[in-house]
Amino acid sequence: MCVCPGPRRIGIPVRSSSLPLFSDAMPAPTQLFFPLIRNCELSRLYGTACYCHHRHLCCPSSYVPQSHLRYAPHPAYATFCRPKENWWQYSQGRRYVSTPQKFYLTPPQVNSILKANEYSFKVPEFDGKNVSSVLGFDSNQLPANAPIEDRRSAATCLQTRGMLLGVFDGHAGCACSQAVSERLFYYIAVSLLPHETLLEIENAVESGRALLPILQWHKHPNDYFSKEASKLYFNSLRTYWQELIDLNTGESDDIDVKEALINAFKRLDNDISLEAQVGDPNSFLNYLVLRVAFSGATACVAHVDGVNLHVANTGDSRAMLGVQEEDGSWSAVTLSNDHNAQNESELERLKLEHPKNEAKSVVKQDRLLGLLMPFRAFGDVKFKWSIDLQKRVIESGPDQLNDNEYTKFIPPNYYTPPYLTAEPEVIYHRLRPQDKFLILATDGLWETMHRQDVVRIVGEYLTGMHHQQPIAVGGYKVTLGQMHGLLTERRAKMSSVFEDQNAATHLIRHAVGNNEFGTVDHERLSKMLSLPEELARMYRDDITIIVVQFNSHVVGAYQNQEQ
């Protein structure tokens, strides 16, 4: 069995729109999955080429994106390390036998790739006044997987105040991240709704009246919702609010946002698990709910209401607050904790949750059971269900599931499930006027850039135009030559800012194209973006970014009001 041992297995190059169930699976089984896949030839080619990549990818000196999930650890590969350039030439040679010369994307081509998924939303102003503490947000994503496994969501709560924004990083396919991106905000919004509103909605459903809208979505045209599962999802959601109605006597409507977030996360994960266990008579839906449950997703969600900012995080995406100090410089405040092996308290938690004799096996090579990088996630029932349950569901499931090596594979040392939870860690922050923006991004960004650089780049971008003070000669002695040098430098800086109308795009440009001096290098950017999609994942992970801009005036006004 060709179990690919690298940090990241090669995904088969899937260009078809049909979603691979587990694109993390090995080439061989997936070809069984998709006998009609267009790039059979290519993928076979990569079946042989991949060892070479992996040798390189294990190289500790060069940056390599880490996958969330892998099958089996194999420590031996570091010895085969080769410099990146060698590999590049090698792969070029293989990939483009007939055209050995390098090709570069032109700046407009680069821009069209970078901007393909960008989205901006400005909170509308009324009477020239924007009463929301959020000015708007920019978001964007750059795929490395094909199709991309990251998802993003943004919506305004209509029945309560506040705005929800979230990034979701899927693994073992995009089914789970897709489902979570569609459903989680409804669960949160429902959790936040006062008893009366819930009753009103339920009555409306019952009597067939028009429903109160709950969320106003802010979606890029590429962000889709599953039509087929809509009914199923709605029924689960309705069950949830019915239970909320039953539980709540309607006496105290003092809803705690933190609690609501935690409940919503847990409930959704529970529903995902239940739906997969129950199945669906519709075979497509049945397959879908199974795919959702067997794949996984992390989530990092922010809820902004006035000066109250809650960040609920499950997994290793991150929320970062951009704070402008009095001297104009930028500093980063992290508003989430990564749930992975780098987090001591997570390690501690896992050890406490399982018997002592598992202490060594529960986290191996910085992965949960030696397999999974994030220690908390939606879906991933392989780490949650008992072995019995897993076997039962797979056996009764559709053939595709049965034939899949990955789903059948039971993690080693699997004694006391569940090993994984979707329960988020919620951090509350009270916004201050100096808090200018919040960045939510999947680990694809944080792996490539230090948080301090991220905040500085966004901060300079957002304020750039106002902040680049006009030069005045004043009484100083300045020569024409000095002035010219200064101006040329400023212009170079400006032009890279002006290229992007979207802070997230600007950040991606830096994340992918930054050279060792911290400036965007077009050649590098062009190389990175022209990687064939089968190879892109070797050099970078999916990147999804949302930059939320706060309205300092409104935040300041809140503050004064309360003083």
Q: Positive or negative, the Cα torsion across 402, 405, 407, 410?
A: positive
3-state secondary structure of 18: coil
Closest separation in Å from C-beta 281 to other proteins: 58
Tell me whether residue 278 or residue 465 sits nearer to other proteins (CB atom): 465
With CB under 8 A as the contact rule, which of the stretches 94-102, 166-174, 181-189, 463-471 interacts with other proteins? 463-471
Tell me whether residue 131 or residue 487 sits nearer to other proteins (CB atom): 487
Tell me whether residue 3 or residue 478 sits nearer to other proteins (CB atom): 478
Supply 177's token pair: 């991240």
Closest separation in Å from C-beta 237 to other proteins: 52
User: Applying CB under 8 A, does 36 fall inside the site for other proteins?
Assistant: no
Rounded Cα gap, residues 240 and 21, in angstroms: 28
Tell me whether residue 211 or residue 465 sits nearer to other proteins (CB atom): 465
Question: From the centroid of its chain, how far is CA 475?
Answer: 52
Question: Binding to other proteins (CB under 8 A): which residues in 123-152?
Answer: none
441 Cβ neighbours under 8 A, 6+ residues apart:
167, 317, 318, 320, 454, 507, 543, 544, 545, 546
Closest separation in Å from C-beta 485 to other proteins: 9
CB contact at 8 A, 71 and 3: yes
Tell me whether residue 231 or residue 467 sits nearer to other proteins (CB atom): 467
Closest separation in Å from C-beta 476 to other proteins: 9
What DSSP string runs through 208-257?
Answer: TPPPPP-EEE---TT----STTHHHHHHHHHHHHHHHHHH--SS-----H
Q: Which residues pair with 69 in a beta bridge?
A: 372
Bond prior to 418 in cis (omega within 30° of 0): yes
3-state secondary structure of 279: coil
Closest CA to 121 of 110, 134, 130: 134
Closest separation in Å from C-beta 464 to other proteins: 12
Question: Binding to other proteins (CB under 8 A): which residues in 466-495?
Answer: 468, 470-473, 477-481, 483-484, 486-488, 490-491, 494
Q: For 12, what's the count of Cα atoms within 13 Å in the CB-facing half-sphere?
A: 26
Residues near other proteins (CB under 8 A), total: 18
Closest separation in Å from C-beta 473 to other proteins: 5
Tell me whether residue 60 or residue 481 sits nearer to other proteins (CB atom): 481
Closest separation in Å from C-beta 127 to other proteins: 22
Which helix or strand (DSSP H or E) is residue 42 part of? helix 40-57
Closest separation in Å from C-beta 460 to other proteins: 16
Rounded Cα gap, residues 271 and 264, in angstroms: 10
Tell me whether residue 108 or residue 470 sits nearer to other proteins (CB atom): 470
Tell me whether residue 410 or residue 492 sits nearer to other proteins (CB atom): 492
Question: Binding to other proteins (CB under 8 A): which residues in 56-75?
Answer: none
Tell me whether residue 488 or residue 501 sits nearer to other proteins (CB atom): 488
With CB under 8 A as the contact rule, which of the stretches 32-40, 110-118, 464-472, 503-511 interacts with other proteins? 464-472
Closest separation in Å from C-beta 472 to other proteins: 6
Backbone angles phi, psi at 468, to 5 degrees: -70, 95
CB contact at 8 A, 188 and 329: no
In the complex, the residues that contact other proteins under the rule CB under 8 A are: 468, 470-473, 477-481, 483-484, 486-488, 490-491, 494
